[in-house]
Structure formats: C-alpha cells, structure tokens
Amino acid sequence: MKILIIKTSSLGDIIHALPVLEYLRQAEPAATIDWVVDEAFVDLVSGNPLINRVLTVAFRRWKKAPFARRTRRELVSFIQALRQERYDLIFDLQGNLKSGLVCAFGRAPVKVGFSRAHQQERLNALFTNRKVGFLPPDKNAGQRYLRIVSAPFALPPESVVPHGDIYTSPEDNAHAQQMIGAAAGRPLMLFHNGTTWTTKLWHAEGWKQLVDALLLRYPQATILLSWGTAEERMLAEEIARHIGGRAVVLGKMSLKQFVAVLKRADLVVGGDTGPIHLAAAVGTPTVSFYRCTDGSLNGPLGRDHMIVQSPLPCTKCLRKSCERDEECRKSISVEAMQAAAESCLENGKR
C-alpha cells in the first residue's frame, strides 16, 4: 500500500501529526509513506525511517512572487514529482485550499480529510472524497490527526501509544554534546522563556524563583537556557547571571541540532511554544504553562507531560493582548510549576 500525507505547516501542528506514522506502521506494516511539507519545516520529517519520500512546497515564498520564473519552475517540478506516484490513500491533514490543491494533483482513489465542520477553509471539501468527523474525546490536535488517518483501517487509534520522533544525525548529536558541555550535571533541565504572543509569556521573577527552587531540590543539576529572539536571549542571560555557574545559555543552532539537545535533556520547561512540542516529539518530559490558550487542546499528550493552566476565569481567551496581562502572568504560580517539574523528573525517562 502506498500512502501520501499532506501536512505542510506549522511547526507545532506537524509535530502533533508525527504519531500518525507510528499508527500507520502498526495498521499497515508494509505501507510506504510519502509526506508533503513546507520547506521551512522539512527538518521535522527528513531522515525519518518511516517516511519513504519527502516532497517540499514553498507556499509562503511562492505567494510573494507568484509569477516569478523560479516560482513557476518549482511549482511544475513539485507537481511532476507528486504525480510520479499512484497512491492508494491520500490523507489531507492540513484542511485548507492549498493542501486541497495538492490533494487534487495527487493520484489516488481515496482522499481522506476533515469533515466540513473542522476544515480550515471550506473550499478544501472539494478535494477529498472521504470526510472524517471527530469524537468527543478528540480534543487534542494529535488525537484528531489520528482519527482521520485511522478511518480506513480496523485498528482503533486509542490502541496506539501516540509518539513520534525527529531524526538527528551523528553530527547533530556531537554538536549538541559540545553545546551542553562534558561537565553538565544531572538532572539536565532546559528552560525556554519565549513564544510568539505576549499573552503566552511568564514573568522574569517567576523563571528565577523556579530555577532557585529546582536547584535547591537538585543541587547537581545543570540549567540550559534556549532562546529564539534577541529579547529572549537577553532574558536567558539575565536568568543565567542570577543562577551563576550552573547555567548554560545555548548558542544559535539549526533545528536538528536543537532537537539533539532536547533529546539529552531530562526535562524541558516553557509556555505554549514550539520547543515544548519538539521535546515531547522526541520523548523528553515537559512542563508547560497556558494562559490565553487551552493546555488540554494545545499541550503534549501523555503521562510524561504536565500542564499548568492559569486559574483565572478568563483563561483560554485567545487574546494576543490584554490589560490584565501582568495579573495573568503571575497567576501561573512558581509552586505549581515546581510541583509539576519535580513530578516529571521523578517519573520521567531517566
């Protein structure tokens, strides 16, 4: 059986979709699986032994120059590569117009996607011939992707332990070890203070108090501090100065090099942000906090992952700015984060 998965973006959503590979391996062991992904996120799926072929698109770049010669050339090349294969099943896990067009060019008798109620864009319905609805337990994005992929098979998605992986090379692993340093103590905890929305951030004092509490509990521990922007790096360096010699502010890395660091960590702590999902994808325990978003929907699944939700009645508001932002940040208590971290460390992978 030949299967095509269309899941082009974004980082967190692709990570939520990775467990479908393990499901398909169990449901149809002889299947060969191809994956369509945006060029910005190809590192999430490249090298995965469960994927036969990775096909890349560049929708964001193509949109900026739709009539450019390079755009036309790349688009024609992608369509030709896509149509080289005749698939038995195509799964559209994106649910928008662009993924629908990819689905239309793909050759398969059965094209499976979201029910009309759950598509990102209604026109997507034109390009699938089997539409799958969700059940009440399917709250998390990962559960929903598994529901869609399981539709043609007898194996219930609930019978599969949801997990994925992101391949890293020996060179990536060696670079990660160099970044961490040979003298790093255990447990090795990584803290990522940043994310895209200000309403998803915590406050600096909370981070400092949390590392103080955890270093008191685990005196041999090493703290890794990662960052994505200049502002996040400034806070990481401020936390490192507060900690002293037991902190390592990580340098700039490729995505796979960063994943290799996450694989070595005993715990990753952050908000509703990509590094949390990356860590969960490679089996590292996580603690994540949620203010404007819903941790039960957005957070990692499994007993190794702890979620701290703001107790304010207006939590899960999905607002990108708020006049109560400071109050909301402080509603994530250090005590709750510490308890979750200690629980993960005591029961986690190491």
pLDDT of residue 348: 62
pLDDT at 170: 94
- As annotated, the residues of the chain forming the CATH 3.40.50.2000 domain(s) are 2-159, 172-347
Handedness of CA 165, 169, 174, 178 (dihedral sign): negative
The owner of tokens 């997507």 is 124
Question: 172-347: which CATH number, 3.40.1260.10, 2.60.120.10, 3.40.50.2300, 3.40.50.2000?
Answer: 3.40.50.2000
Please identify every stretch of the chain with a pLDDT value under 50, giving residue numbers as ranges: 349-350
**What pLDDT score was predicted for residue 350?**
44
Which residue in the block uniquely carries the two structure tokens 């090795």?
A: 188
pLDDT at 297: 85
Rg (CA), the chain: 21
CATH of domain 2-159: 3.40.50.2000
Q: Tens of pLDDT along 51-105?
A: 999 999 999 999 999 999 999 999 999 999 999 999 999 999 999 999 999 999 9
Res 135: pLDDT: 86
pLDDT at 301: 80
Q: According to the model, what pLDDT value does residue 24 have? A: 96
Count how many residues are written for the chain: 350
Q: What is the pLDDT of residue 116?
A: 86
